[in-house]
Amino acid sequence: MRSRIDDWSKWVLWIAIYSCLNSYSLNAICADFTFTAIPDQDTAGLQERFGKIADYLAKELKVPVKYIPVKSYSASVQAFKNNEVQLAWFGGLSGVQARLAVMHSKAIAQGKEDPNFITYFIANTNTGLSFTECFPFNIVDKTFTFGAKGSTSGRLMPEYFIQKALGKPPREVFKRVGFSGDHSKTLALVQSGSYQVGVINYKVWQKAVSAGQVDPKRLQVIWRTPSYPDYNWTIRGDVDRTYGQGFSQAVQQALIQLKAPEILNSFPRSSFISADNEMYQPILETAIELGIIRQ
Amino acid sequence: MLRTSLIFVVIALLSLPFADLEITTSHPWTELGQIALGAIQPDLSALWQLKTALLNTVVFAFCGTSIGVVLGAGLAFGFSWAPIRLFCVFIRSIHEIFWAFLFLNIVGLNPICGVLSIAIPYAGIFAKVYAEIVQESDKQPLVGIPTGTGVISRFIYGVLPVIYADAKHYTTYRFECALRSSAILGFIGLPTLGYHLETAFREGTYQTAWALLYAFYLLIASLKYWLKPRLTPFYVVGAFTLLSREVTVSWANVLRFFTVDILPWPMRRVGVWSGTNHIDFSLVPVLEWIKDILITEGVEGVWNTLILTQIVLAGTGFFALLVFPFTCRHFSRWPMRPISQYVLVVLRTTPEYLLAYVFVQLWGPSMIPAVWAILLHNGAILAFLTSNNADRLQAQIDRPLRYIDRYFYEVLPRIYGQFLAFLFYRWEVIIRESAILGVLGIYTLGFYIDSAIVDHQLDKATLLILLTGTLNMSIDAVSQRVRRRLQISTKLFVLD
C-alpha cells in the first residue's frame, strides 16, 4: 500500500515540476500588438467584425496583430490601462477615461462622421409621440432606456441633454430608467414596447434601417440631438518604445488609408480621418458636469 | 418556531409594497416561446467552437476549488481564534462576481482573475465547514492516541479518518458550486461558458444558448462518474498546467491598484488633475467622501437589497414547503416523484444569476426576475433537502390516511426544525445573491457597484463592496442567533 502511494506522489511531483518549467518558457514570449473595441452593437459578431481589421493592420504594419473581445465598455478601458491592449476603438467617453488613466496616450483617428456625431431619441409608436425639432418635453413620465452605462451616444450625451432641458436627472424625469447594454438591444427593447422611449447611436440606427430591422409602424425617431464628438482610435504612448520609433504614426497612417468598404461598413464609417486629444474636450467637460468623471 | 416563522412572513409581507414588482416588457410570453423552441432544437454544432469555453469553465473550477481547499483547511485549524473566524466570514461575504470585478482591475482579463475570484470566498466557506465538521465529529479515536503525540500526528490518526467522508462529500458538492461560479464569471467577461451564454441570450440565439446549457447540465450530472478522489490529483495538476500557459501578471498593475486606484478620491484629486500624482493624507475630506457615498447610494442600495432578501427568504420557504411533498416518498409515487426530482435538480443546477439574466430579458428590470431567480434556485435546494429528511422518517402504523393530514400532523412537525435551520443557512446566501443581481439593473447594491466600476471609480466600488460585505456579515450573525435561540440544527448533514 505504501509503495503505491509513493508512486502516486512521485508522478504528481514530476508532472508539477514539468508543468512549471513548461509554463515558465511559455511566459517568456509575448508582445503581439493587441487591440480591442467597445462592444457597442451586435455582440455576437465582434470577432468577425474586428478580425478583418486585425488582418489588415498586420499586413500594413508587418507585426502580428491580435484582437481580443471584451464584454463591457469598462473592460475595454481596463485592458487599455493594464497594457493588455495597446490600441482600442473607443467611444468618446471611454476614450477620455482611457486617456486620463494612461499618461501620454493619444487619440489618433476617428470615423469621418465622428466629429459631428448624433444621438436619436426613438419611441414606440403606441406612445403617440412623433418627430419634433426641439427637445421632446412629452417624454416625461414614460419608461426610458439608455444603452450601456459607459456609452457616449447611448448614455452620456442623452443624459446631458435631458438634464439640460428638464433640469432634473433621468431617474426623476421618467417612470422607469433602464440600461439595455448596447444599441442593438435598445432598438429591440423599444421596438417590442418593453420601453417606450430610448436613445440610440444614429449610425447603428441607419444600419438597422437599411438592413430592414426597423418596423416604421412600431418605431419612430422623435428627436435628433445637437452634434458632439464621438468614437476614436486611441493608442498608448509607450508603443513607440516597444514596437519601434514612428510606430504610432504608422498605425495612424494605416487606419486613415483604410479603404476596404467591407471593413468600413462594419463600423459603420465611410472612412477614418486623423484625430487628437483636444477634440474630445467637450466630452470630458460633459462627463465632469454629470459626475461620471470626478473633479 | 411558529412565532419566528410568522415574524419573518410578516416582514416579507411588509416589504412587498416597497418592492418594484412590475413586469415592464409588453410581450413577455412570445419571447418565452422562442426560448422553449430553442430548448427543443439546440444547435449542438455550436458546442465544438465553444469547447475552449467549456474547458476553461472546468479548469477555473478545479484551480479555484483546490486553492480554496488548501487555504480553507489551513484556516480551519485556527478557526477557534476569533480574528481568523472574522476574516473567514469577511472573505466569504463577498460574492465571486464582486471579487472578479476587483481582480479584473488587478490582474486583467486573465485566467488567474477567475481562479482567485473562486478560491478566495471558497477558502472562507471551506474553513467554516471543515471546522464545523471537526467540531461535530466523534472524539473517541483521540482518546486512544498516546499523550505527547505531535499535533500533526494526532490530526492524521485521530481526526482525519473520522471526518474524511464528510469533508469529501462537502468538497465534492463545493466543486459543483465552483462550476456554477466559474460559468457565471463569463457574464462579466471571463472566457468561460457564461461569456457565450450572455451573448446568446442577449442576441436571442436561444438554440446556441440551450446547447451550452445542456452541455453544462451534462457536465454536472456526469460528475459522479469522473470526479474520483483518486483521479483528482491528475485533474488538478492538469488544470494548473493548462492555466499556467496563459497567466501573466504585471506587478506594476497590482501595485497601482493598491497604492493608487483604491485610495479614496479626496486623497488623489489634486494629484490626478495636476499630473503630479500627489497623495494627500487628510482625514476629514475622506470621511466626508465616505458619508456622501453612503447617504446617496449606500442607503438606497442596502434598503433595496434587504427588501428583496426578505421577500425571497419567505418565498423560498413557502416554495420548499409546497414542493417537497412531490419528491417525498410519503406523498408521491412513480411517475410524479422522479419527474419532480429531475425538475428540482435542473433548478438547483442552473445558476441563479443565469436565471435572473433570462428573466430580466423576459420581464424587464424590476424585482420580479430577481425574486423568482433566487427563489427557484434556493427553493429547489431546500425542497430537495427537506424531502430527503422527510424520507428518513419512519411512517408510523397509525399515520393519517389523508395526505393533507399526514402533511400537517405527521411529517411537517417532525422536520420543521431542520427545515428552518436550512432556510436560515440559506439566508446569507440569499442576501449575497440579492446584492449581486443589481448588476442586472435592479437597484440593489450591485447596481451601484457596477456603476462605479463602469465609471472607473474603484475606490467607490471597493467602499460599496465593503458595505455589502458588512451587511452580509450582519445577516450571518443574526441568522446564527436565531438558530441558536430556536435550538435548531441541520444535524443530518450540512449543506451550505
C-alpha distance from residue B174 to each of A217, A238, B18, B119, B129 (Å): 52, 44, 35, 11, 11
Closest CA to A150 of A54, A292, A251: A292
pLDDT band for position B300 (50/70/90)? very high
pLDDT in tens, A158-216: 999 999 999 999 999 999 899 998 998 899 889 888 899 999 999 999 999 999 999 99
ipTM: 0.85
- The domain covering B8-31+280-496 belongs, at the CATH homologous superfamily level, to MetI-like (1.10.3720.10)
H helices present in B227-335, as ranges:
232-244, 251-256, 265-274, 283-293, 299-327
C-alpha distance from residue A225 to each of A54, A93, A95, A201, A267 (Å): 33, 17, 21, 10, 21
> CB distance A23–B241 less than 8 Å?
yes
- Residue A29 pLDDT: 38
Among the partner residues B198, B454, B456, nearest to A101 by beta-carbon distance: B456
Residue B101 pLDDT level (bands cut at 50, 70, 90): very high
As a whole-number percent, the residues of chain A with pLDDT over 90 amount to 76
Q: Is B25's pLDDT higher than 80?
A: no
Selected residue of B455, B457, B459, B463 to mutate for chain A interface (largest A Cβ count, 10 A) = B455
Cis amide prior to A268 (ω within 30 degrees) = yes
Q: Are B307 and B15 in contact (CB under 8 A)?
A: yes
Phi then psi for A272, rounded to 5 degrees?
-105, 140
- What does the pLDDT read at residue B449? 95
Kindly report the average pLDDT of chain B as a whole number: 90
Report how far residue A18's alpha carbon sits from residue A16's, in angstroms, rounded to the nearest whole number: 5
Give the confidence band of B33 by pLDDT, cuts at 50, 70, 90.
confident
Is residue A97 predicted with pLDDT exceeding 60? yes
Which of B109, B205, B244 is nearest residue A19 as measured by Cβ atoms?
B244
Is residue B329 within a helix (H) or strand (E), and if so which, with residue range? none
Nearest to B240 among A19, A179, A185 (CB): A19
Given a contact cutoff of 8 angstroms between Cβ atoms, the answer to whether B341 and B333 are in contact is no
Residues 6 or more apart whose CB falls under 8 angstroms from that of B136 comprise none
Q: Which domains does chain A have, with CATH numbers?
A: 33-115+229-289 (3.40.190.10), 118-224 (3.40.190.10)
pLDDT tens digits, residue range B165-207? 999 999 999 999 999 999 999 999 899 999 999 999 888 889 9
CA-based diameter of chain A, in Å?
Answer: 86
Residues of B within 8 A of A97 (CB-CB) are: 455-456
Contact between chains at B244 and A20 (C-beta distance less than 8 A): yes
What pLDDT was estimated at residue A7? 61
The rounded distance, in Å, linking the Cα atoms of A138 and A127 is 10
The whole-chain average pLDDT of chain A stands at 89
Q: Nearest C-alpha of chain B: how many angstroms from A15?
A: 7
Query: Maximum Cα–Cα distance for chain B, whole Å?
Result: 84
Nearest to B364 among A43, A83, A194 (CB): A194
The answer, for A289 touching chain B at a CB cutoff of 8 Å, is no
Return phi, psi of residue A34, to 5°: -120, 140
pLDDT of residue A9: 55
Please state whether the peptide bond connecting residue B335 to the residue before it is cis, i.e. omega within 30 degrees of 0.
yes
Q: Is A74 close to B453, i.e. CB distance below 8 A?
A: yes
CA dist list (Å): B348 to A239, B176, B261, B384, B404: 49, 11, 38, 9, 27
B464 vs A44, higher pLDDT: B464
For residues B267 and B81, give the distance between their C-alpha atoms in angstroms, rounded to a whole number.
Answer: 35
Could you give the CA distance from residue B293 to residue B297 in angstroms, rounded to a whole number? 6
Question: What is the percent of chain B with per-residue pLDDT over 70, rounded to a whole number?
Answer: 98
The CA–CA distances, whole Å, from A188 to A42, A174, A290 equal 12, 19, 27
Residue A60: the pLDDT is: 94
pLDDT at B489 over 90: no
CATH number of B42-261: 1.10.3720.10
Asked if A20 reaches chain B (Cβ–Cβ under 8 Å), the answer is yes
User: What does the alpha-carbon distance between residue B354 and residue A153 come to, in Å, rounded to a whole number?
Assistant: 28
Question: pLDDT grade, residue B494 (50/70/90)?
Answer: very low
In this predicted structure, the answer to whether residue A12 has a pLDDT above a threshold of 70 is: no
- Domain boundaries in chain B? 8-31+280-496, 42-261
Interhelix angle B82-93/B111-136, nearest 10 degrees: 130
Do B195 and B187 contact (CB within 8 A), yes or no?
A: yes
Q: Using CB atoms and an 8 Å cut-off, which of residues 118-177 of chain A contact chain B?
A: 143, 148-150, 176
Alpha-carbon gap, residue B480 to B252, rounded angstroms? 42
Is the CB of residue B365 less than 8 Å from the CB of residue B440? Answer: yes
pLDDT tens by residue, B231-288: 999 999 999 998 888 777 788 888 888 888 889 999 988 888 887 878 888 899 999 9
